[in-house]
Structure 1
Amino acid sequence: MKYQGIAGLAVLLAGCSVNIDDAADERPQTANSRPVAAGVTSPEQRLPTDVRRTTIIVRDIEKSLALYRDVIGLEINYDTEVTTSGVALPAGEPGARARLVLLNANDPWVGWIGLMEWVDPAIPADDYPTRMGPGDVVIVLNTDDVETRCEAAKSVPGVTFTAEPRLQVYPGRDGAEDIRVVGCNFFDPDGILIELNQILE
């Protein structure tokens, strides 16, 4: 299915065209008092906003899928071609075609990754980054077997490591025990920095 023009693309990139209150009953719920991380509990009342998705404009969507789907283990739930306006999303030319792939982790509503590649005409890519600064993005992902997945990421073309798997210790919230994770860091094929970690008990 193709979505034409500004309105269609806005619906796609928003991920949902319904009012948040109308959709609340359709989303997975968490017990109000159940901790979701050390020192963190679910809000007593629903907040007005969910962080649905991060969409990455990519050079080569197949290379990106080799990382996000095949190595990290996310699942494709949407794969289509869209015609873009170049206005609502200020990229590409008016009428250009792009492929949009959405991937989810365990939650069917939040925490998705979107991949978008302009295919006709393509968007020229900037130089691949080696350092980060203001405006850059770090995506933190938690996985089940960090050492195996970090090692597998090295075989994906375009992935550049900045740190091998190692123990990282962060102070706990509100006097809770320290937060201990094992994780690696690398640039994905488009220069987005990924922190892939595993929380230790």
Structure 2
Amino acid sequence: MQFYYQNLSNFQKYVSQVMLCVVLTLGLTITSMPLSQVMAADTPFDEKLVLRRQTLVVRDIEKSLALYRDAIGMEVIYDQVIKRPLTGSDREQILRLIFLKASNQYTGVLGLVDYEYGYPEHPAHQKPIRNEGFTPGNSILVFNSTELSKTWPLIEVSEGVKIITEPKLTSYPGYGGKGKIRVMVSKFYDPDGFLVEMNQLLDPLNPQ
């Protein structure tokens, strides 16, 4: 019996040594990867061209936050109040700049900026809102969500939002003209009159 336990103890030591070697080997393998390969997994720095961000100039940044953060579900990753001299004026410009991410903090980021954040009565905040529809000179923010039925009721009651169409089934030709892509499409104006689509894909983008 003593011989059995002695051999068992030696076996356990052997297993421990083997596991330690495996861990060390894996650790060396991971840490010896080129920095570019490590960063490429999370950042687009190695890409030739990346559409980094679209920034909206807004009248009331709190209303915009209530829509994009609280209703749509984006996450704030940057929020700063910036003070700087205003060219041609003796006053200081106070602006607030916010970045929000959907699922990636390097691409597809939405920026919100109020260039007169420190002056609520500034004429820029009183500029008429243009709800011009899908006409030249206007851009469209398109979101894809897997929870449209959950998100839409929050969008509907967001202050300043004007609904164009509620979610409805729409079909588009597939890539390369193969098949169809079914999408639940909803459209609305945000508090500053920017066009927004909140959609949910029902089919893969590249059907085989």
Q: Distance in 2 between matches of 1:28 and 1:60?
A: 36
Residue 128 of structure 1 contacts residue 191 of structure 1 at CA under 8 Å; is this kept in 2? Answer: yes
Q: Distance in 2 between matches of 1:147 and 1:93?
A: 50
Q: Distance in 2 between matches of 1:136 and 1:195?
A: 13
TM-score, normalization by structure 2: 0.69
Alignment of 1:32-181 (within 5 A): 47-83=47-83, 95-117=92-114, 118-121=116-119, 122=122, 123-132=124-133, 133-181=135-183
What's 2:198 paired with? 196
TM-score, normalization by structure 1: 0.71
Deviation of 1:119 after TM superposition, in Å, equals: 1.3
Structure 2 residue matching 1:62: 3-state secondary structure: helix
Residue 153 of structure 1 contacts residue 159 of structure 1 at CA under 8 Å; is this kept in 2? Answer: yes
Q: Distance in 1 between matches of 2:153 and 2:98?
A: 25
Q: Distance in 1 between matches of 2:174 and 2:90?
A: 47
Q: Distance in 2 between matches of 1:199 and 1:94?
A: 49
Cα distance change on mapping 1:143 and 1:62 into 2, 3 Å: same
In the alignment, structure 1 segments of 5+ residues that lack a partner are 1-21, 31-45
Deviation of 1:93 after TM superposition, in Å, equals: 9.6
Residue 146 of structure 1 contacts residue 183 of structure 1 at CA under 8 Å; is this kept in 2? Answer: no
Structure 2 residue matching 1:134: 3-state secondary structure: coil
Q: Deviations over 1:153-180 (max 9, x none)?
A: 1111100000010011110111432111
Q: Distance in 2 between matches of 1:153 and 1:93?
A: 41
Greater relative CO (CA pairs within 8 A, separation 6+): 1
Say which one has the larger Rg. 2
| Cα RMSD, aligned residues only | 2.7
* Structure 1, 128-137 or 165-174: larger mean CA deviation: 128-137
What's 1:12 paired with? none
Q: Distance in 2 between matches of 1:26 and 1:97?
A: 35
Cα distance change on mapping 1:79 and 1:173 into 2, 3 Å: same
Residue 56 of structure 2 contacts residue 112 of structure 2 at CA under 8 Å; is this kept in 1? Answer: yes
Structure 1 residue matching 2:71: 3-state secondary structure: coil
Kindly, what percent of the aligned residue pairs are identical? 34
Deviation of 1:63 after TM superposition, in Å, equals: 0.8
In the alignment, structure 2 segments of 5+ residues that lack a partner are 1-34, 204-208
Residue 82 of structure 1 contacts residue 99 of structure 1 at CA under 8 Å; is this kept in 2? Answer: yes
Residue 103 of structure 1 contacts residue 112 of structure 1 at CA under 8 Å; is this kept in 2? Answer: yes
Which one has the bigger helix percentage? 2
